[in-house]
Amino acid sequence: MDPRPLVSRECRHWCRSLGSSRVRSLLASHAPIIVPRQREAEAWLDERLSREGVWLLRGLVAAIVLSMVAIVAVVALLW
């Protein structure tokens, strides 16, 4: 069972329409508009950051692989 709280469709849509930076600033300011959805908004933000981290890692690995392929190609051409 996943220990993170579930995020409702309504909260997902609401957070997506605001964007992660706006949700983050609302959470930091404890604005009255976010209080009813605070736990869900925090969970949505955690999911979003986790997803972005995975894509960042994939991009980093791809860049390293492409760099190594380029180095091997240059070495093979100069050989």
What one-character-per-residue DSSP string does the chain give?
---SPP--HHHHHHHHHH-HHHHHHHHHHT-TTTGGGHHHHHHHHHHHHHHHHHHHHHHHHHHHHHHHHHHHHHHHHH-
**pLDDT exceeds cutoff 50 at 1:** no
Domain boundaries in the chain? Answer: 9-78
**What pTM does this model have?**
0.67
Distance CA 36, CA 60 (A): 38
Joined tokens for residue 54: 């995975």
Which tokens in the block code for residue 13? 């849509």
Provide the token pair at 78.
Answer: 């100069």
Report pLDDT digits (tens) over 4-58. 557 888 888 999 999 989 999 988 888 888 778 888 889 999 999 999 999 999 9
